[in-house]
Amino acid sequence: MLNKKKRIVVNIILIIACLIIAFPILFAFIKATQTPGQVMSPRILPSGYLFENIKFVWTRYNLWGYMLNSFKISLSIMLGKTFLSFFAAFALVFLDFKAKKPVFIFILITLMMPTEMLIVGLFDIISLPSPTSFKDFFSWFIHPSNIFLSPVKFGFGWTDNLLSVIVPFFASATGVFLFRQHFRNIPTSLIDASIIDGAGSFRFIYYVLLPLSRNTIGALFVVQFIYAWNQYLWPRIIIRNSSAQVIQVGLKAIIGNAEGVEWGQVMAGTIISMIPPLIMLFLFQDQFMKGIAVSDDK
């Protein structure tokens, strides 16, 4: 253990570091409580104007609409990703089939393919109108050169539709990887016992695997929710209608919207937008830390 003198020094350094790191947020919060006049002054004491500021962005600048869209998207992605990657990893670890390795590599490679890099190609696939009749689609689809050698002709027609920001993110290499890692650490004896008891895959999943996977699931919930909540570039491009926009891009709209930005209101919106991911983080903090600790010695 550290001696007393060192302990004090460490504490002082950490307190200063915490203050510096928290400063921009504290400052934003204080300014969110001030009247427009006070915001422009050097005053750094909180004031009583917070609810007026919130009320303004909430209704006039559609903050609530943005938040609601982000909620729908983030919860869908969080649940969908966790669900799909749980079963994919189950197949990769506990089921016997050929082509296991190529499938795993196929999934793993996508770790290095962030959507941001693919926006140009993805844009057409998502935004072009879908074929009007099956015959149209079939006569296009039947020629491989249409699919592989020329720009795509049909898409999903999802511009301004929340599906465009949800469905492409349902699959997750991170999730498959984390679950696979965790499943491989489960003692063989447990699997043997289940098989002797005559349990099939689903009973094994329900009675053994799920209870054992709480930490990994919790960690993934945090990671995926925050990832989805914080998305920016893709919704910025694919969603043009502000009623379908997400909160992160909404912040830019709020800044640009006002004639002469009211920064107190913008800061109020910013602070509000941080609350859901923070709640997720602290709700699942224990599972998150444990889940991460397993994952890093890949």
Partner 1 sequence: MEHRSRFKARGLEVVFLLPTMLILILFLYYPAWQSIILSLFRSNLFLGTRKFIGFENFRNLFSGALAPAYYQSLLQTLIFSVMVIVPGLLISLVLANLSISLGKRGKIYQILLIWPYALSPAVAGTIFSFLFNPEVGAVNTLLGAFSNLQPRWLDNPILAFLLVVTACIWKNLGYNYVFYLAALQNVPRNVYEAADIDGAGVVRSFFKITVPLVGPVTYFLIFTNLSYSFFEAFALIDLLTLGGPMGFLPFDNTGVTTLLIYKIFQDGFGGSSNMGFASAQSVLLMGIIGLITWFQFKFADKNVHYGGE
In the region spanning residues 12 to 31, those forming contacts with partner 1, defined by CB under 8 A, are 13-14, 17-18, 21-22, 24-25, 27-28, 31
Report if residue 120 touches partner 1, rule: CB under 8 A: yes
Residue with tokens 């694919």: 238
Straight-line distance from the first to the last Cα atom of the chain, in angstroms, rounded to the nearest whole number: 31
What are the structure tokens assigned to 295, written together?
């994952």
List the Cα angle 204/205/208 in 5-degree steps: 65
**Residue 198 falls in which region: left (phi positive, over 0), alpha (psi -120 to 50) or beta:** left
Q: What is the DSSP letter of 208?
A: I
Task: Choose, by CB under 8 A, the member of 84, 212, 258, 283 that binds partner 1.
Answer: 84
| Nearest distance in Å: CB 137, partner 1 | 15
Report if residue 277 touches partner 1, rule: CB under 8 A: yes
| Nearest distance in Å: CB 143, partner 1 | 14
Task: Choose, by CB under 8 A, the member of 37, 60, 64, 113 that binds partner 1.
Answer: 113
* Alpha carbons 193 and 197: distance in angstroms, whole number: 6
Nearer to partner 1 among residue 73 and residue 88 (C-beta)? 88
Residue type, 166: I
| Nearest distance in Å: CB 139, partner 1 | 19
Report if residue 236 touches partner 1, rule: CB under 8 A: yes
Task: Choose, by CB under 8 A, the member of 106, 138, 206, 207 that binds partner 1.
Answer: 106
Task: Choose, by CB under 8 A, the member of 148, 189, 241, 259 that binds partner 1.
Answer: 148
Q: How many CB atoms lie within 10 A of CB 262?
A: 21
| Nearest distance in Å: CB 134, partner 1 | 18
Report if residue 217 touches partner 1, rule: CB under 8 A: no
Report if residue 191 touches partner 1, rule: CB under 8 A: yes
Q: Which are the contacts of 69, defined by CB distance < 8 A and separation ≥ 6?
A: 162, 244, 245, 246, 247
